[in-house]
Amino acid sequence: MIILTVEQTKQWMQEIQKRMEANKEQLTALDQAIGDGDHGINMARGFNEVVNKIDDTEYDSVADVLKSAAMTLTAKVGGASGPLYGTAFLKMSMALQDKEVNQQNFKEAIDAALAGIKMRGNAEFGEKTMYDVWYQVAEFLASENVEDWEEMIEACQATIEDTREMVATKGRASYLKERTLGHVDPGSMSSFYIFEALVAVIEVGN
């Protein structure tokens, strides 16, 4: 069964954009604590551009929408989030090329995105980065026959809280070492909004 259509994928991007805009200040505050303080602005700008782009374009496939988002994010976000999210959506797009999006294909696309983030950011699980949330989503899809997508959101929420107790070893935060303790990672937070937005549009189906 198809769980994500072209139209739903466009809505996914719109739902992400709404969340990035609504939480811009929160993301920036998180990034001011342990990074360079531009994550909220960068993500809001990036997804505003994505929505502008896809609103004006006709797409034949989910893969094409994701590719368009990937190229726009890479070009427009500015910080490390640009190439990282760009790579994630590009790998999803490549994995879904010439395929409809059922649960199995979607799982494989998330696995490809996860591998892409790992490669681009040289990241491992438990390093206080966005990778942790994507890893959690991949784990969830590997073990569950999804009947309720809300459970995935709950798993992601727990992962975000876990990042609070970690010392960052990647990205600009790594320069602060122990001073990153007690702060939620901004990249894991923005990734959470991406999956919260997904759950708002995706269907349940096997």
Q: Is 86 near another protein (CB under 8 A)? A: yes
Q: Which span sits near another protein by CB under 8 A: 8-16, 78-86, 144-152, 154-162?
A: 78-86
Nearest distance from C-beta of residue 123 to another protein, angstroms: 11
Q: Is 53 near another protein (CB under 8 A)? A: no
Q: Which is nearer to another protein, 9 or 87 (CB)?
A: 87
Q: Is 103 near another protein (CB under 8 A)? A: no
Torsions phi, psi for 121 (to 5 deg): -100, -5
Q: Which is nearer to another protein, 63 or 90 (CB)?
A: 90
Residue 62's closest CA among 17, 117, 8? 8
Question: What whole-number distance in Å separates Cα of residue 58 and Cα of residue 110?
Answer: 24
C-alpha distances (whole Å) from 139 to each of 14, 23, 62, 151, 195 are 26, 26, 23, 12, 14
Question: What whole-number distance in Å separates Cα of residue 33 and Cα of residue 31?
Answer: 5
Q: Which is nearer to another protein, 31 or 196 (CB)?
A: 31
Nearest distance from C-beta of residue 27 to another protein, angstroms: 16
Contact in structure between 1 and 203 (CB atoms under 8 Å): yes
Q: Is 93 near another protein (CB under 8 A)? A: no
Q: Which of 4, 28, 121, 146 binds another protein (CB under 8 A)?
A: 121
In the chain, alpha helices (H) = 6-22, 24-34, 39-55, 62-76, 81-95, 103-121, 130-143, 150-164, 186-201
Q: Which is nearer to another protein, 173 or 184 (CB)?
A: 173
**Which stretches of the chain bind another protein, using CB under 8 A?**
36, 38, 42, 74-84, 86-87, 120-121, 170-172
